[in-house]
Amino acid sequence: MPAELIIGANGYLGQYLANARRGCDCVLHSRTPMNSFCAQAGLPFLQEDLVESRGLLSSIEPATVYLLARPVTQNASVLLDFGQNVQWLLQEWADRKCLRRVVFASTQLVYATPADDTPLPVKSPLGPESPYDCHKAAMEYFLSLLAHHESGISVEVFRMPLLAGRPGTAAQVQEQFLFQWRAAYQTGSRWSFPADEPLHATWGNSWAHVDDVVNLMIHPRPGPARFHFVQPVSGHLTYVALDAFFQLNYRLPPMRDSLHLPRTSFFLQDNADTKPRTIDEAFPENMDMADENCSR
């Protein structure tokens, strides 16, 4: 039986984690056929839609589960079905006494909308709003209960900021906001910063380099707690600064339409001691062409 299982290996984070585990006793999973990048890991692969079934995955007995998958939807019924199947699997593996560690990709959106730009520590008040946010929070509570299972399971919950640092596939660009916003700028969309809104200078977000997150997941920091939160933060940005970065470093067409500006700041307080990084490290695949593409 496999030592490790990556649920959601075709995803943006999952494919890089999968390649970091090449040569290990690890099984990959996704609801869709294995993508070409994930295939480079050379690891066994199982395809199953956890909204519909769990029978294929229930036949294996992993010791470590990286839970990275999530339905790309705000449909509560779909999220409930997915959550029920995943929770059943985790409890079943715990009852069989094979499961020893769970790593869960949660989201910064489990927190209540911040009142200002003060970084949020892990103990900040929760206030999930959308079905997706509630699904992530509910899974966190389930895992906190699972961590008390008699078999002795450790759980790490990663409350993720925005992810970047390596290129994504065309489909993943639409799911990773930093890439999505860059793509919008490259097609002529722009944020507008209203002069009568002084807070626009503080609206922004934390982001994490995918390499930093993969390293933290593979090499957890030692500690006595069987359940703990991890907030990886490679850098912080305001949307004003990101707007300036896009316009400085990419050849952009004239503005054709406005782009929705997130009117909040989700700055997380890094509790994982990740390496500080700058905005250009979020988009490294283009930085070697910066002079050629620069629109100065």
pLDDT in tens, 48-94: 999 999 999 999 999 999 999 999 899 999 999 999 999 999 999 99
**Looking at residues 154-159, what average pLDDT do you find?**
97
Let me know whether 118 and 133 are in one domain.
Answer: yes
pLDDT greater than 60 at residue 188: yes
Let me know whether 170 and 226 are in one domain.
Answer: no
Which pLDDT value is given to residue 288?
Answer: 38
Let me know whether 117 and 221 are in one domain.
Answer: yes
Let me know whether 95 and 10 are in one domain.
Answer: yes
Please tell me what DSSP assigns to residue 2.
-
Which pLDDT value is given to residue 228?
Answer: 94
Let me know whether 199 and 53 are in one domain.
Answer: no
Q: Which residue has 């939160």 as its token pair?
A: 229
Which pLDDT value is given to residue 92?
Answer: 98
On average, the pLDDT of the chain sits at: 92
pLDDT in tens, 275-285: 999 999 999 87
pLDDT greater than 50 at residue 226: yes
**Looking at residues 146-169, what average pLDDT do you find?**
94
Q: How many domains is the chain built from?
A: 2
By the 8 A CB rule, do 271 and 121 touch? yes
Let me know whether 111 and 181 are in one domain.
Answer: no
Which pLDDT value is given to residue 248?
Answer: 95
Let me know whether 171 and 102 are in one domain.
Answer: no
Task: Give the residue, 170 or 9, on which the prediction is more confident.
Answer: 9
Let me know whether 220 and 73 are in one domain.
Answer: yes
**Looking at residues 258-265, what average pLDDT do you find?**
93
For 18, 39, 286, the CA distances from 68, given in Å and listed in that order, are: 11, 17, 27
pLDDT in tens, 10-40: 999 999 999 999 999 999 999 999 999 889 9
pLDDT in tens, 105-144: 999 999 999 988 999 999 999 999 999 999 999 999 999 9
* 187: exposed, middle or buried (Cβ count in 10 Å: 0-12, 13-18, 19+): exposed
Task: Give the residue, 260 or 2, on which the prediction is more confident.
Answer: 260
pLDDT greater than 60 at residue 295: no
Token pair for 186: 């490259």
Let me know whether 199 and 220 are in one domain.
Answer: no
CA 208 from centre of chain: 9
By the 8 A CB rule, do 107 and 133 touch? yes
pLDDT greater than 50 at residue 296: no
Read off the pTM: 0.93
Which pLDDT value is given to residue 286?
Answer: 52
Q: Range of 55's domain?
A: 4-162+209-230
**Looking at residues 240-263, what average pLDDT do you find?**
95
Let me know whether 96 and 170 are in one domain.
Answer: no
- Check which CATH number belongs to the domain holding 99 and give it: 3.40.50.720
Let me know whether 170 and 103 are in one domain.
Answer: no
Let me know whether 92 and 223 are in one domain.
Answer: yes
pLDDT in tens, 91-104: 999 999 999 999 99
For 49, 53, 58, the CA distances from 70, given in Å and listed in that order, are: 10, 14, 18
